[in-house]
C-alpha cells in the first residue's frame, strides 16, 4: 500500500468506500482522532487500544482501537464530534458499549445542529452492533457526536466502527413511545412473553384462574420505567399467551405501596365478601409501609382486598391489616386452600432476629425464613410453624404428584431465586426431605409464582425475568414463559421438572424437522430455517467422539462440553449429561407441528425457546432450566458448531412462532 494511503486511513474519518454498498466513516485504528474534535478530558488525544486502567475487560470492538471515555475513570467528561459528512446511504451501523444514561453516555446523530437520533450503551463493556435508519435525512449533512456527560457509575461510553451502508446490520434502533398503532411492535418488545404496556414491572402476583380467564397481577410502576411506586398491575388471558392489560387493581395508600401477594377464589365464601351469585376473588397483599411519603413511619403489614366483578374493581378490607407486622420486612403472602384440613394456609417471608447469632455490631443477625399461618376466614391468621432453613422473599408452595401419580404426592417450597425443597406438609408444618436444590441455572429468573388451582390440575409457574434491558422502550422488564411443573424420580432422587405449557402450540406457524447425518463431522453448519427471531428449537444428539457442541443463537453462544458435562452460556453453567429416554418430558408435539418420535437413550436433549430479548433453555426434558435475557447482538440465525470429533447421531425440530400480541 502506498504510504500516502496509509496516512489517509489514519485520519480515522475515511471517505473510501469499503464496498459498493458501504462507506466506512471511522474505524479508530490510528494514533489520533484525525478530523474529529474532542472536548473535556474523557476521550484524551486519541483512540484507546482496548481496556483502560481499572476498567473491566472491554471486548467486541474491531481492529485494535476504539473510542473509550473511561480515561481517568468515570469522573471524566467530554464529547467527541466527527467532521460533517453527507448522508448518501440509508443506514449507519456501528458498535456501542458502556453506560446507559440517556443524553449523558450516548452516541448522537446531529442534523442541522440538532440531535435527531441518540442511543446509549447497556451497562456492559462489551460492544454490540446498533443500526440507525437515516432515510428521512437522505442528502443532508450530518455529524456523529459521542457524549460522556456523566460522572457516576457507568459514566462512560465505548464506540467503534461507524459505517454508512445500504443495508441494516441490525433492526434499526428507534426510541419508542406509547402509540396505539405501534404498541407491542416496539424494537425490543418481547413477542410471546408478557410485558406491561408501559412503565416498570417485576414480580408476578395473584395468579388465579376464574371463569375462563387467567389473571396475572404484577408489581408495577405505571408512572416510570424504574422500580418504585409499587402498584398491582392487572392483565387477563384466555390461554396464558394473549394478554389484555386492564386498569391497575391496587394503588398505594397510607398503609404503604402495594408489594407482592396472591389471589384466591373464595368458593365457600369463608370471608363473607361475596355479594352476587359468583364467589368473590380475594387478594392478600403486603402493604409496604415506609416506602412512600404517605406511609412514612409505618411498618410492613399483610392486608386484604376483594372483588365481586371478576377482578375488574377491588375494595380494600375495612379491617386491614389482617396480619400485623411480625419482623423485618415480612412480605409476599402466597395463600391457598388446604382441603385436607379445611383451612387457608399462608406461607410468608419474614425477617426474624436470631439472638444466638450476633453481627459485628453486637446485634442479633436477621434470619430470612418462611413462616406458615392458617385461617378459617382469610381475616384472622395464626402462626403454626417456621421452616427450618433460610429462604428469601416470594415463597411458593404447591403439591405435585410424583412420576405422574405412580407414587404419593409431595410438596415443593421455593424462594425468590428459585431454590427449592421437596417434602411433606400436614396443613401446618412443612418438613423438607431433600437438600436445597437449584431451580434455575440462568441469570434472569426471580420471584416466580404458580397457578395452583387450575381445573385441569396442572401447576403452572410464571417468573419475573429479572435484569433484562430494553433500551429506549416505554416499558421495562418481562415475565418468563409459563412452564408446567412436575416431580419425577431421577438417578439422584425426586426432582422438579419444568416444561413450556402446551399452549405454546397455538403460536406455531411452521415447522421443520431434520435428521442430521450419522457421525456428523466436526465443523459448523447454519441450521436451516433459523432466520426467524421467534423460534422454538429442540435439538437432540448422541455425543460420539465430539468434545464440544455449541449453538450460536442471535450472537449468543451456548456450549456443551463433554469433559465437564455442562452447558455454558452467559457465564452460567448448566449440568447436562446423557440421560435415559425416560428422563423428563419428551417432545409433546405431533403433526403437523413436528414428527412423532421418542427420545433416544443416552442422548442429550436441549430445547431453546427464543423471543426477541430472551432465551429459555430446557435441558433433558426439563430436568434443568436456565432463563436468560439479552439485547439482540445479531440478526436471527442459529449455527451448530461441533469440535474435537463427530456426533454419533443428531436431529433437530424447529418451529417458527407468531407474535402473541397479534391475534
E runs forming strands in 469-590: 475-476, 483-490, 493-500, 508-516, 523-526, 535-542, 548-553, 556-561, 566-569, 572-575
Which SS3 state, helix, strand or coil, does residue 351 take?
Answer: strand
Q: Under 8 Å CB-to-CB from 577, ≥6 apart: which residues?
A: 565, 604
- Which has the closest alpha carbon to 294: 230, 365, 347? 230
CA distance 211 to 249: 18
DSSP state of 9: H
Pair type for strands 231-237 and 548-553: unpaired
Nearest CA to 80 out of 29, 35, 24, 124 is that of 35
* List 74, 148, 203, 330, catalytic entry: 203
β 614-619/523-526 pair status: unpaired
CA distance 22 to 92: 9
Tell me the three state secondary structure of residue 166: coil
Helix or strand holding residue 3 (H, E): helix 3-9
Count of C-beta atoms within a 10 Å radius of residue 513: 17
From CA 279, how far away is CA 455, in angstroms rounded?
16
Radius of gyration of the chain (CA): 27
Task: Tell me if 217 sits within 8 A of 263, measured CB to CB.
Answer: yes
Does 203 qualify as catalytic in the annotation? Answer: yes
Residue 639 belongs to what H/E stretch? Answer: strand 638-643
Closest CA to 66 of 172, 156, 165, 168: 156
Q: How far apart are CA 51 and CA 33, in angstroms?
A: 18
Please give the positions annotated as active site: 203
Amino acid at each position: 500500500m502506498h504510504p500516502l494511503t496509509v496516512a489517509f486511513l489514519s485520519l480515522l474519518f475515511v471517505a473510501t468506500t469499503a464496498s459498493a454498498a458501504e462507506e466506512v466513516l471511522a474505524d479508530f485504528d490510528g494514533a489520533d482522532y484525525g478530523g474529529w474534535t474532542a472536548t473535556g478530558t474523557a476521550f484524551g488525544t486519541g483512540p484507546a487500544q482496548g481496556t483502560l486502567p481499572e476498567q473491566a475487560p472491554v471486548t467486541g470492538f474491531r481492529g485494535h482501537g476504539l473510542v473509550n471515555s473511561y480515561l481517568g475513570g468515570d469522573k471524566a467528561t467530554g464529547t467527541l464530534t466527527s467532521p460533517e459528512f453527507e448522508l448518501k446511504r440509508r443506514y449507519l451501523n456501528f458498535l456501542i458499549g458502556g453506560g446507559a444514561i440517556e443524553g449523558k453516555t450516548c452516541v448522537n446523530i446531529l442534523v442541522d445542529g440538532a440531535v435527531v437520533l441518540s442511543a446509549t450503551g447497556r451497562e456492559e463493556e462489551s460492544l454490540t452492533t446498533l443500526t440507525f435508519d437515516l432515510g428521512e435525512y437522505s442528502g443532508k449533512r450530518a455529524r456523529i457526536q459521542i457524549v460522556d456527560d456523566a460522572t457516576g457509575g457507568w459514566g462512560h461510553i465505548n464506540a467503534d466502527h461507524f459505517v454508512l451502508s445500504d443495508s441494516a446490520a441490525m433492526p434499526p434502533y428507534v426510541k419508542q413511545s406509547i402509540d396505539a398503532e405501534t404498541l407491542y411492535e416496539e424494537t425490543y418488545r418481547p413477542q410471546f412473553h408478557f410485558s406491561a404496556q408501559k412503565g416498570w414491572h417485576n414480580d408476578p402476583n395473584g395468579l388465579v384462574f376464574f371463569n375462563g380467564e387467567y389473571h396475572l397481577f404484577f408489581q408495577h410502576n405505571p408512572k416510570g420505567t424504574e422500580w418504585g411506586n409499587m402498584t398491582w398491575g392487572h392483565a387477563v388471558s384466555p390461554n396464558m399467551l394473549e394478554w389484555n392489560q386492564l386498569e391497575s387493581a391496587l394503588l398505594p395508600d397510607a398503609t404503604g405501596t402495594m408489594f407482592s401477594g396472591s389471589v384466591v377464589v373464595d368458593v365457600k365464601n369463608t370471608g363473607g365478601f361475596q355479594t352476587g351469585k359468583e364467589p368473590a376473588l380475594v387478594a392478600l397483599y403486603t402493604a409496604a409501609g415506609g416506602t412512600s411519603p404517605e406511609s412514612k413511619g409505618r411498618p410492613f403489614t399483610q392486608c386484604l382486598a376483594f372483588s365481586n366483578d371478576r377482578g375488574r374493581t377491588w375494595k380494600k378490607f375495612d379491617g386491614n391489616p389482617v396480619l400485623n407486622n411480625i419482623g423485618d420486612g415480612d412480605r409476599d403472602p402466597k395463600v391457598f386452600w388446604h382441603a385436607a384440613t379445611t383451612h387457608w394456609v399462608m406461607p410468608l417471608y419474614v425477617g426474624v432476629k436470631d439472638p444466638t447469632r450476633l453481627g459485628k455490631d453486637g446485634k442479633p443477625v436477621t434470619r430470612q425464613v418462611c413462616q406458615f399461618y392458617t385461617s378459617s376466614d382469610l381475616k384472622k391468621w395464626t402462626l403454626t410453624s417456621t421452616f427450618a432453613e433460610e429462604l428469601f422473599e416470594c415463597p411458593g408452595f404447591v403439591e405435585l404428584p410424583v412420576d405422574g401419580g405412580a407414587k404419593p404426592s409431595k410438596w415443593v417450597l421455593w424462594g425468590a431465586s428459585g431454590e427449592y425443597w421437596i417434602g411433606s406438609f400436614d396443613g401446618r408444618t412443612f418438613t423438607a426431605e431433600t437438600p436445597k436444590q437449584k431451580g434455575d441455572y440462568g441469570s434472569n429468573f426471580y420471584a416466580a409464582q404458580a397457578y395452583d388451582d387450575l381445573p385441569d390440575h396442572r401447576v403452572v409457574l410464571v417468573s419475573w425475568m429479572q435484569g433484562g434491558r430494553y433500551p429506549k422502550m416505554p416499558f421495562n422488564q418481562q415475565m418468563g414463559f409459563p412452564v408446567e411443573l412436575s416431580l419425577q424420580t431421577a438417578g439422584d432422587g425426586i426432582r422438579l421438572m419444568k416444561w413450556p405449557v402446551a399452549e405454546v402450540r397455538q403460536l406455531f406457524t411452521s415447522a421443520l424437522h431434520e435428521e442430521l447425518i450419522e457421525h456428523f463431522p466436526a465443523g459448523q453448519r447454519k441450521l436451516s430455517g433459523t432466520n426467524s427471531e421467534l423460534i422454538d428449537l429442540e435439538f437432540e444428539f448422541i455425543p460420539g467422539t465430539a468434545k464440544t457442541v455449541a449453538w450460536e443463537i442471535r450472537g449468543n453462544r451456548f456450549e456443551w462440553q463433554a469433559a465437564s458435562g455442562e452447558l455454558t452460556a452467559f457465564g452460567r453453567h448448566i449440568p447436562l449429561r446423557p440421560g435415559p429416554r425416560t428422563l423428563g418430558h419428551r417432545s409433546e408435539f405431533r403433526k403437523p407441528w413436528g414428527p412423532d418420535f421418542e427420545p433416544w437413550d443416552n442422548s442429550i436433549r436441549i430445547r431453546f425457546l427464543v423471543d426477541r430479548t430472551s432465551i429459555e433453555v430446557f435441558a433433558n426434558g426439563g430436568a434443568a432450566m436456565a432463563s436468560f435475557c439479552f439485547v439482540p447482538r445479531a440478526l436471527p440465525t442459529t449455527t451448530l458448531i461441533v469440535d474435537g470429533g463427530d456426533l454419533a447421531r443428531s436431529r433437530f425440530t424447529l418451529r417458527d412462532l407468531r407474535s402473541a400480541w397479534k391475534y
